């Protein structure tokens, strides 16, 4: 199902963000890797391998988790796996904050600092969204 999208984006020279959400891993990934950063990375790599099999390299990775520790672990593992495979794809660091509470803001800032200061990969896009509860 993903191959046609990748082929179309390749023909139009458009980029794709391969995003993995910690809370939305597939049942297959969950049954094999559990609810872990490793599962997040494996899920993202499945889509990356499809792109690479089509000789399409205009993509970046995004790991999303509400728990800052999980997000940092996922990005570190992703960077390690990319390095061991000789890959050099950019990372998108996005933090979604669902409350305006100071603790949420602080955890978001910790994620940013940890990922940007220790990463070996390029960070090409950074976004932060504040969504107040209704």
Q: What pLDDT digit, counting tens, does each position of 12-37 carry?
A: 999 999 999 888 999 999 999 998 99
Per residue in 82-126, pLDDT (tens digit) is: 999 999 999 987 655 554 444 455 555 555 555 554 544 444 444
| Every domain of the chain and the residues it spans | 2-92
- Rounded to whole angstroms, the Cα distance separating 111 from 70 reads 10
* CB crowding 76-111: b at 16 or more within 10 Å, else e: bbbbebbeeeebebebbbbbebeeeeeebeebbeeb
Q: For position 97, what pLDDT does the model report? A: 52
- Rounded to whole angstroms, the Cα distance separating 89 from 91 reads 7
The SS3 assignment for 14 reads coil
Q: For position 133, what pLDDT does the model report? A: 37
Per residue in 46-85, pLDDT (tens digit) is: 999 999 999 999 999 999 888 888 888 999 999 999 999 9
Residue 25 dihedral angles phi and psi, to the nearest 5°: -70, 145
Distance of CA 7 to the CA centre of its chain: 21
């Amino acid at each position: 199902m993903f191959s046609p999208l990748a082929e179309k984006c390749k023909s139009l020279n458009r980029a794709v963000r391969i995003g993995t959400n910690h809370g939305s891993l597939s049942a297959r990934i969950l049954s094999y890797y559990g609810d872990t950063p490793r599962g997040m990375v494996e899920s993202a790599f499945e889509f990356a391998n499809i792109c690479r099999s089509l000789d399409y390299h205009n993509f970046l990775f995004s790991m999303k988790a509400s728990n800052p520790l999980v997000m940092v672990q996922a990005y570190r593992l992703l960077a390690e796996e990319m390095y061991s495979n000789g890959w050099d794809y950019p990372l998108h660091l996005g933090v979604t904050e669902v409350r305006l509470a100071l603790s949420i803001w602080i955890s978001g800032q910790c994620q940013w600092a940890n990922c940007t200061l220790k990463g070996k990969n390029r960070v090409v896009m950074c976004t932060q969204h504040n969504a107040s509860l209704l």
